[in-house]
Amino acid sequence: MTTTQPETAVGAAADYLDQRTGIAGAVKEFARKVFPDHWSFLLGEIALYSFVVLLISGGFLTMFFVPSMGFTTYPEDSLPVTMQGVEMSEAFASTLHMSFEVRGGLLMRQIHHWAALLFMASIVTHMMRVFFTGAFRKPRELNWLVGFTLMILGLLAGFSGYSLPDDVLSGNGLRIADGVAKSIPVIGAFASYMLFGGEFPGEHIIPRLFTVHILLVPALILAFVGIHLLMVVLHKHTQYPGGGRSSKNVVGFPLFPVYVAKAGGFFFIVFGVLALMGATLSINNVWNYGPYDPSPVSAGAQPDWYMLFLEGGLRLMPGWEWVIGGFTIPINILVPGVVIPGLLFTFLALYPFIEARVTQDKSEHHVLDRPRNVPVRTALGVAFLTAFVILVLAGSNDLIATHFEMSINTITWIFRVAFFVAPVFAFMVTKRLCLALQRKDRELVLHGHEAARLVRFESGEVIEVHKPLSDQERWLRVNYQAHAPLVIEPGEDARGVRRRGYAADKRWQALSRFFYEDRIEPVTPAEIANTHGAHTAVEQSDDAPQIGH
pLDDT at 329: 87
pLDDT at 328: 83
What is the residue extent of each domain of the chain?
A: 31-369, 484-518
Q: What is the pLDDT of residues 89-118, one digit of tens each?
A: 999 999 999 999 999 999 999 999 999 999
Strands, DSSP E only, in 132-291?
253-254
Compare 543 and 125 and report the one with higher pLDDT: 125
**Is the model's pLDDT at 539 over the cut of 60?**
no
Domain 31-369 has CATH 1.20.1600.10: no
Kindly give, in sequence order, each residue whose CB lies less than 8 Å from that of residue 502, ignoring residues fewer than 6 positions away.
488, 489, 491
pLDDT at 299: 67
Q: What is the pLDDT of residues 342-377, one digit of tens each?
A: 999 999 999 999 999 999 888 899 999 999 999 999
**Is the model's pLDDT at 295 over the cut of 90?**
no
Q: What is the mean pLDDT of the chain?
A: 88
Compare 279 and 444 and report the one with higher pLDDT: 279
Chain mean position to CA 36: 20
**pLDDT average, residue stretch 23-31:** 72
**pLDDT average, residue stretch 165-180:** 90
Please report which confidence band the pLDDT of residue 141 belongs to, taking 50, 70 and 90 as the band edges: very high
Lowest mean pLDDT across 56-65, 191-200, 389-398, 432-441: 191-200
Please report which confidence band the pLDDT of residue 536 belongs to, taking 50, 70 and 90 as the band edges: low
Tell me whether residue 472 is exposed, middle or buried, using C-beta atoms within 10 angstroms of its C-beta: 0 to 12, 13 to 18, 19 or more: exposed
Q: What is the pLDDT of residues 3-16, one digit of tens each?
A: 556 567 777 887 88
**Is the model's pLDDT at 187 over the cut of 70?**
yes
pLDDT at 502: 84
CA distance 321 to 335: 11
Q: What is the pLDDT of residues 238-264, one digit of tens each?
A: 998 887 788 888 888 887 778 888 888
User: What's the whole-model pTM score?
Assistant: 0.89
pLDDT at 549: 46
**Is the model's pLDDT at 278 over the cut of 80?**
yes
What φ, ψ does residue 184 adopt, rounded to 5°? Answer: -70, 125
Chain mean position to CA 522: 30
DSSP state at residue 204: T
Please report which confidence band the pLDDT of residue 136 belongs to, taking 50, 70 and 90 as the band edges: very high
CA distance 106 to 118: 18
Compare 279 and 325 and report the one with higher pLDDT: 279
Strands, DSSP E only, in 335-394?
none
Compare 460 and 343 and report the one with higher pLDDT: 343
pLDDT at 2: 55
